[in-house]
Amino acid sequence: MKRFPFLVLLALTCTILLFHVVSLSTHVRNPTFIAAAAPDNLTSKTPVAADKYTGKTSLGESDNLDDLQESRSNHATRELLDPREKFHFSPQIANWDLQREKWLQKYPHKRLTPQGRPQTILVTSSPSGPCEYPTGDYFLLKSIKNKIDYCRLHTVEIYYNMAVMEMGGFWVKLPIVRRLMLQHPEAEWIWWMDSDAVFTDMDFEIPLDRYDGFNMVIPGWDDAVYKRREWTGLNAGIFLMRNCQWSLDFLDMWAALGEDYGDNKREMGEFVAKQLTGRGDFEIDDQAGLIWLLISRPELRSQVFLETSYCLHSYWVMVAPRFEEMLANFETGGERWPFITHFVGCKFCSGKYNSTPMETCDHEAKRAFNFADDQVLQPYGYKHASLSKHQVLPISHESIDPDEMVL
């Protein structure tokens, strides 16, 4: 009988603890999706349905809202209990075009390169610490050398980032690009390029004049993105953004989809997995976020150029094993090889979760680097013994004409 009060007290304590655990798990599983509202200069005059996933307005008139309605009902209570401000990077800027134009009027000589092209900054990034995979750091060294060589040949500024800013992982590129815009008003274009992408045509120059009237250039296909809704309809590992207010606002909306709070990334990943063809169910990535933003916000598309006329991105599996063949074909009047070769699926730094064995990735990446490096070394009179070897051999020249040496 003396044990009875103690057992009652123990049962009551367990009940209270269980109640708190259930409440906590409900709180974690049901965060509120809050994204940036579309600024006035980005919104369409045509009414579209409201959507918390992408901002103030979202799906076009032909899209189905069923998936979103279910999510809204699940999170309505959390929104009332945990109101959040609309996502935006800091500092907030509302008149960047005017500020930048005043600066350029003060320093007009900084608007163009000595060759008369718009100032462009190439930016790439790598982890802040050493790579886990044994040859990862060596690959990153070759990758940045390849980019430095291209930028030197074409008078492009380069910024190499190792810092984790407001966002990390897939999303680190967004705050970096934004910061560069604000810090470098002289730059007309900020050009992002993943560390696992290398230049393989060192002579090619992006035809920037083609993009008058556009604020973003990215490799992709209209039908694949807007009709078939394919996750691989574009590639967000390489893109250019014009330095303007539209881009700053666009980056806010894009980044809101990958905001790191609660289970936002996981739940957004589940959502876009249902909306996009060929995407698995995992945390939302920048590419899926970008595609969903363009699908759900049709008024943004007029400013985004999906480039297919040249290889701003080419899948390495289709390219790297054929460099000798492509070179021989070009020398007999055929097409030139791709501008950029992207080693999608090769995790050079971690060595984990590869879609292809690392031995194959390492081998083909070496060939791609040497293929590009031969184009850099040729004016100096050297080339690699083969694309699979590090050693270089002298090229015999009976005479050298300085007019032919373009360094």
The helix-helix angle for 264-275 and 286-296 (nearest 10°) equals 60
Q: Which residue shows structure tokens 């806010």?
A: 252
The span from the CA of 59 to the CA of 69, in Å, is: 12
d(CA 355, CA 345): 5
Phi, psi (5° rounding) for residue 389?
-120, 150
CB atoms within 10 A of CB 212: 6
Complete DSSP assignment for 106-153: HSGGGSB-TTSPBPEEEEEE--SS--SSTTHHHHHHHHHHHHHHHHHH
Q: Say whether pLDDT at 189 is over 80.
A: yes
Question: pLDDT exceeding 70 applies to what percent of the chain?
Answer: 76
Average pLDDT (67-96) is 55
Q: Is 279 exposed, middle or buried (0-12, 13-18, 19+ CB in 10 A)?
A: buried
Render pLDDT for 272-320 as a digit per residue (tens, 0 to 9).
Answer: 999 999 999 999 999 999 999 999 999 999 999 999 999 999 999 999 9
- Numbered ranges of CATH 3.90.550 in the chain: 96-309
**In whole angstroms, what is the distance from residue 131 CA to residue 122 CA?**
23
Distance of alpha carbon 264 from alpha carbon 283, whole angstroms:
9
**47-56, 132-141, 268-277: the lowest-pLDDT one:** 47-56
Sheet holding 157-161, edge to edge: 157-161, 120-125, 189-193, 238-242, 216-219, 304-307
Residue 314: which of 401, 402, 253, 235 has the closest Cα? Answer: 235
Residue 263 neighbours by CB distance under 10 Å: 14
The amino acid that residue 279 corresponds to is R
pTM, rounded to two decimals: 0.78
CA distance 307 to 153: 23
Q: Is the pLDDT of residue 324 over 80?
A: yes
For the record, the structure tokens of 189 come out as 């274009």
Confidence bin at 67 (pLDDT 50/70/90): very low
| 3-state SS class at 31 | coil
User: CA 375, CA 380: separation in Å to the nearest integer?
Assistant: 10
Taking the C-alpha atoms of 256, 258, 264 and 266 in order, what is their torsion angle to the nearest 10 degrees?
160
The band of 181, judged by pLDDT with boundaries at 50, 70 and 90, is very high
Strand residue runs (E) in 235-313: 238-242, 304-307
- How far is C-alpha 387 from the chain's CA centre? 29
**What is the chain's mean pLDDT, rounded?**
82
CA atoms of 121 and 125, how far apart (whole Å): 13
Q: Cα 350–356–358 angle (5° rounding)? A: 45
Q: What angle do CA 393, 399, 405 make, to 5 degrees?
A: 75
**pLDDT bracket for residue 164 (50, 70, 90):** confident
CATH number of 96-309: 3.90.550
- Residue in 182, 39, 37 with CA at minimum distance from that of residue 103: 182
Residue 88 and residue 158 in contact, taking contact as beta carbons nearer than 8 Å: no
C-alpha–C-alpha distance, residues 48 and 295, integer Å: 12
3-state DSSP assignment of residue 194:
coil
Residues 36 and 256: their CA atoms lie apart, in Å, by 6
Residue type, 244: C
Which one is predicted more confidently, 134 or 260?
134
Measured CA to CA, the distance from residue 358 to residue 133 in angstroms comes to: 10
Q: In angstroms, rounded to a whole number, what is the distance separating the alpha carbons of residues 312 and 60?
A: 29
Please check the confidence at residue 268 and state whether its pLDDT lies above 70. yes
One-letter amino acid identity for 204?
A: F
Q: Which of 26-40, 50-64, 169-183, 351-365 has the highest mean pLDDT?
A: 169-183
Mean pLDDT of 218-243: 97
Q: Return the SS3 of 322.
A: helix
Q: Provide the phi-psi class of 345: left if phi over 0, else alpha when psi is between -120 and 50, else beta.
A: left
Tens digit of pLDDT for each residue in 331-381?
A: 898 889 999 999 999 999 999 877 789 999 999 999 999 999 999 999 999
Q: What are phi and psi of 59, to 5 degrees?
A: -50, 140
